[in-house]
Chain A
């Protein structure tokens, strides 16, 4: 007889009981103590369940409204966004639908407007909180990589758009809405001090900066915020990819005249 202990998956998030006739099928599933199919399915909103998964406690009504607002603001970055363009590039070529989302995740993961930027921006919030002088110091003298990483180093202040001119209307409207519904400290402070921070950064606030502040106020860690940002932006990528798949490559920019090979 084999006395070696059976290897198991350790989790504080998920518990299952088996079906009577099949130990490989769950009869009851509990997420953080809540019966998923007996309780949450009927009583929780999707956004509340999403919050529960990440935070392991239910949200307050304000927290729920904050995450809901952020989710709506991020769910479709629009067809000009790099990550959505990646998904559409899969679509026009007739690639698998999963590859469209992989493409969107890959491109939307980066330091420029992507999830890694949110990761860094949230770390800035952890370090600086509501201290304007600390923000100025960190933005003007950012941390340097001490050894090589697979990620390229940041080329701009995280949370700000190096190619922006002024803070775009959707970013400002989202920030205002999230301040109104969430009533949280960091978002409110960001709203009050946006212009000064933009002055330090030399460029305007971006969605990544608003998302980082919102998720910091929801007590997300940088890696949790990175994941949430990746998740929340996928619906737009999915549907724009499907739209371009139907329209086909002939109706999608190829930049035939824009490509210039140096002699």
Chain B
């Protein structure tokens, strides 16, 4: 019988070099025996290897610093954390809370879109600089095309208190002097003098530091996906430990209805 669908060759046939488990008790990740070769790795080193194929205690340590300093504020007002707090007050489970908070972290004004976007911007800007364009021209064209530059500007407040501690940590492990982090601050310098007065936020700092270590936008995105859970989990626990339903309750008058007062009647 002739093959009709290109899916037929894939039936019961998933080929991979990424890794897997065998019933004989062997686990392989990217060609490495987990029990023999990776058992002494830190979890962050293991995650780095799993997500990017890179084996670098230095990058893992840098990433771990980012997770602590930049992505784990235990404040339940921050929107991704608020989801976990609401899960706690509504007596849902911790895993559901964490899953929802991680998913919500793929946001535009914070979280994963700026993280990936800032790395992408720095790579594109670096390429254009190498082609002879001026920094001003690159930033202006980014603003004209997208009306924003990922990694610059911030909701609620203009400055970012994480920049200094992060750079201090980076320098303590011999990071922070590469061309991408310098580019990130050069863009900040230009934008601070522009009409928009955008300041650098932590996404551009982390993007610059990691681009200098050879991480791509996708590498950083994959590594950062779980980074926010240490901020979300305490928010869940706190709300779970307090009286049920008491996390920022809203009375009916807290709805600002803008749809007009006319009461309509459904056709029967």
Contacts and interface: CB of A to CB of B under 8 A. Distances in A.
Interface of A: 6-18, 23-26, 30, 32-35, 39-40, 43-44, 56, 58, 96, 98-99, 102, 106, 146-150, 163-165, 255, 257-262
Nearest to B259: A12
A58 B113 CA distance: 36
A9 B251 contact: no
Contact of B252 (A18, A102, A163): A18
Contact of A15 (B96, B221, B259): B259
Interface stretch (B48-56, B58-66, B115-123, B159-167): B115-123
Nearest to B263: A33
B12 A23 contact: no
B258 A10 contact: yes
Given A11-B256, A260-B16, A150 B113 contact: yes
Most chain A CB within a 10 A radius of its CB, from B145, B256, B260, B268: B256
A33 B106 contact: no
Interface of B: 4-7, 11-17, 19-20, 22, 28, 92-93, 95-96, 99-100, 103, 106, 112-113, 116-117, 119-121, 124, 145-146, 150, 217, 221, 249-260, 262-268
A43 B100 CA distance: 35
Contacts, number: 127
15 contacts: A9-B254, A10-B258, A11-B255, A24-B249, A24-B252, A33-B260, A33-B264, A34-B264, A34-B266, A39-B266, A40-B266, A106-B103, A149-B116, A165-B4, A165-B5
Contacts of B268: 43
A7 B268 CA distance: 38
Contacts of B254: 6-9
Contacts of A17: 252
A106 B15 CA distance: 24
Contact of A261 (B17, B113, B116): B17
A24 B106 contact: no
Contact of B17 (A15, A33, A258, A262): A262
B102 to A, nearest CB: 11
B267 A58 contact: yes
Nearest to B124: A147
B259 A13 contact: yes
B258 A148 contact: no
Given A34-B266, A147-B120, 8 more contacts: A10-B258, A11-B255, A12-B259, A23-B253, A26-B252, A39-B266, A106-B103, A165-B4
